[in-house]
Amino acid sequence: MSTTLPAIDRGTTAQLCRALADETRIKVIELLASGEQCVCDIQASLGISQSLLSFHLRVLRDAQIVSDRRSGRWAFYSLRHEGLQALEDLVELMRSRAERASSAACCS
């Protein structure tokens, strides 16, 4: 019995991979794993300029991995559970495809 695996949305996959393809963005994700943080605290932890941090946070927001909340003149960032779930789903789908491919006979 053959089950069809869902298609991979290549645009979403590329966006997620692009967001994870930078050491600074991985560090931001690690920092936010402990909970919401003010942008000033993230900047201080990473020791990078505000403009560079803004760029990295925009890439993570666009990939829906982080979300922001404004409070007065401060911005607070946190991980989006939906974005993390999308990453988990993508890895699981690829794992399932790899398992099916390795168990299929090539030239039978």
Q: What digits encode the pLDDT tens for the residues 53-89?
A: 999 999 999 999 999 999 999 999 999 998 888 888 8
What global pTM score does this model have?
0.80
**What integer pLDDT is reported at residue 108 of this predicted model?**
57
Instruction: Compute the mean pLDDT over every residue in the chain, rounded to the nearest whole number.
Output: 88
Q: Which helix (H) or strand (E) covers residue 76, if one does?
A: strand 74-79
**What integer pLDDT is reported at residue 78 of this predicted model?**
97
* In the chain, % of residues over pLDDT 70: 88
CA–CA separation, 41 vs 81, rounded Å? 21
Domains in the chain, ordered, with CATH?
10-92 (1.10.10.10)
Are the C-beta atoms of residues 42 and 53 closer than 8 Å to each other?
yes
